[in-house]
Amino acid sequence: MAKLRFFWSSNVTNTTPNVTTAHLSDLGNLVLSNGDDAGSSLWE
């Protein structure tokens, strides 16, 4: 049997809620936005 090996791990906790939203634009593009700032596109 193969042994399970960890190459990287982290014990970081996220204290900030994730408010990222995804929607389709009028042009059909998938847009990821920061929910706190509707005008801020993270990825399009």
User: How much is the pTM?
Assistant: 0.47
Cβ atoms within 10 Å of 38's Cβ, excluding its own:
9
- Rounded Cα distance between 9 and 23, Å, is 32
Instruction: Single out the residue of 20, 13, 12 nearest to residue 43, CA to CA.
Output: 20
CB contact at 8 A, 9 and 24: no
User: Which of 5-9, 31-35, 39-43 has maximum average pLDDT?
Assistant: 31-35
Arithmetic mean of pLDDT over the chain: 75
Q: Which residue has the higher pLDDT, 22 or 8?
A: 22
